[in-house]
Amino acid sequence: MITKRLVLLSILALSVALLAGAVSAQDNKVTLWAADSDTGSCWARLLVDTFPRDDIEVEVVLQPGSGLVDAQRTALQGGAGPDITFSHGPSFMLELANAGLLLSLDHYADEYGWGERFAPWALDLGRVEGSLYSLSEELETVILYYNKTVFEENGWEIPKTMDELYALADAIREAGLVVMGPAFGECAPCYEWAVSVFFTHHAGPEKTYEALTGQRPWTDPAFVEAITALKDIVQDGWYMGGIDLFFSDTFQQAHSLFGAGEIAMSFEGTWMLDNYQRDYFGEPGGNENEWDWFAFPTTFSEEPHFVIGVGSSWGISQSAPNPDAAAAVLDFYYSTSYQAESHGLCGNAPAPLLYEGDVFANADPREARLYQEFGQASAAGNYGYTSWSFWPARTNVWLWEQITRVYDDQLSVEDYLAGMQREFEEEFADGLIPPIPPR
């Protein structure tokens, strides 16, 4: 009888211990999702392998396909999804925060000193009504890459003003080349890149700031001029040599032609810094060409200006079982050492942190120069705004969707901007404008 009781007690004790262990492991497990791509699997592996705390288990679930954010949104709505949530940027995170699906990160920001680690504008991007809900990732801007070999062969200089850029475009076409790529046959939202740049570089960052904060309408003559200038260069065949090719060619086709020297420049994002060298120039591209970059000129200054943006944002789900552990993972993820290592190893753009010393010592010198110039421009106030980071969602869809109708002469520039103003006013009234860092 005693033996029987002992056996029963032992089984019970073992079960309790196993259950406790399971619960404990569950509590200390932090899940996040990543795109199942080369870059995604690379940084995911790096994070899991190098995360220093043994008491927290990090699990990165690689999700196939391009609908990572949509899938995660559905999962979050259903009370599931990862502990650390990912989205395309501030306007998307704003929706999640407004729906009560994100946890406030204010006390973690104090605890880990994120205020001193992030670029001030970048941390502000994650605030909703003064509270921090997300952390910005992937520092981005749009620049003009150029085929350096072709430029040297033709004796072309880097333009510093818009007038010089127009003269350069004429020279490129006289040489029988296409002025610039890429083409957006595969990516409808990508039309926003040029619009963002023209608002800042043509109308000016101050005016854009005023419009984003509701102090100036989008129908202002400065914006009409900017969008008219953009429309003119598109209709003039700067992109891909013709509007039909601009509308239909793929990125791969455009980048290959750029690498081969048939297209002189590429008006692209900084996410291509790694790809050009890896896939399209030199031996991988089957050519002997080299590339470099310069800041898109402005109509008002010879100093380099940049539109700033972030490619994605991270936050902690309201339903995360152990938010402290999730915050610890975020803290490690946003360390300068992890960002530098991830950038060097996986090629993803670094987060907008304040990097000290030579953390990007192993980076390509062209890339290092970009971060240096970008930092200087930011400090001098020579920065503008990318639509995917600073425009509210509906206004942003209008911005990239309707601009193609402007290019195709179905919609006038005035009507385009009036429509943008209409959408903006509604979202402004509903409090859906992402935080705009004060200038």
Partner 1 sequence: MARDMAMPEDRQYTGARRKAKRRRKKWTRYRLMRYYIVPWLFLIPILGLHAFVVVVPAMQGVYYSFTDWSGIGEAKFIGLRNFEEMFFEDQSYIDALSRNVQWMIFRMIVPFTFALFGASLLAKVKRGAMFYRTALFMPFILPSIVTATIWRYLYNPRFGLPTLVGYDKALLGQSDTALWAIAFADNWQFWGFLMVLFLTAMQGIDPVLYDAAKVDGANRWQEFWHVTLPGIRPVVLFMMMMVMIWAFLVFDYVFILTGGGPAGATEVIAIDIYKNAFQRFEAGYAAAQGMTICLFASMVVCAFVFLRKRGWDI
* Residues found near partner 1 in the complex (CB under 8 A): 70, 73, 76-77, 95-96, 98-101, 184-189, 242-250, 253, 393-394, 397, 401, 404-405, 407-408, 410
Residue 218 Cβ, how far from partner 1 at the closest point, in Å?
A: 17
Cβ-based nearer residue to partner 1, 160 or 394:
394
Residue 109 Cβ, how far from partner 1 at the closest point, in Å?
A: 24
Residue 104 Cβ, how far from partner 1 at the closest point, in Å?
A: 16
Residue 422 Cβ, how far from partner 1 at the closest point, in Å?
A: 12
Q: Are strands 291-294 and 142-147 parallel, antiparallel or unpaired?
A: antiparallel
Cβ-based nearer residue to partner 1, 71 or 222:
71
Cβ-based nearer residue to partner 1, 47 or 234:
234
Residue 419 Cβ, how far from partner 1 at the closest point, in Å?
A: 11
Cβ atoms of 69 and 314 within 8 Å: the answer is: no
How many residues make up the chain in this entry?
A: 439
Residue 291 Cβ, how far from partner 1 at the closest point, in Å?
A: 22
Cβ-based nearer residue to partner 1, 240 or 351:
240
Calpha distance 417→371 (Å, rounded): 33
Calpha distance 293→369 (Å, rounded): 10
Residue 99 Cβ, how far from partner 1 at the closest point, in Å?
A: 3
Cβ-based nearer residue to partner 1, 244 or 414:
244
Cβ-based nearer residue to partner 1, 114 or 239:
239
Residue 262 Cβ, how far from partner 1 at the closest point, in Å?
A: 10
Cβ-based nearer residue to partner 1, 69 or 165:
69
Cβ-based nearer residue to partner 1, 96 or 229:
96
3-class DSSP string for the chain? CHHHHHHHHHHHHHHHHHHHHHHHHHHCEEEEEEECCHHHHHHHHHHHHHCCCCCCEEEEEEECCCCHHHHHHHHHHCCCCCCEEEECCHHHHHHHHHCCCECCCHHHHHHHCHHHHECHHHHHCCEECCEECCEEEEEECEEEEEEHHHHHHHCCCCCCEHHHHHHHHHHHHHCCCEEEECCCCCCHHHHHHHHHHHHHHHHCHHHHHHHHCCCCCCCCHHHHHHHHHHHHHHHCCCECCCHHHHHHCCHHHHHHHHHHCCEEEEEEEHHHHHHHHHHHCCCCCCCCCCEEEECCCECCCCCCCEEEEEEEEEEEECCCCCHHHHHHHHHHHCCHHHHHHHHHHHCCCCCCECCCCCCCCCCCHHHHHHHHHHHHHHHCCCEEECHHHHCCHHHHHHHHHHHHHHHCCCCCHHHHHHHHHHHHHHHHHCCCCCCCCCC
Residue 192 Cβ, how far from partner 1 at the closest point, in Å?
A: 11
Cβ-based nearer residue to partner 1, 92 or 146:
92
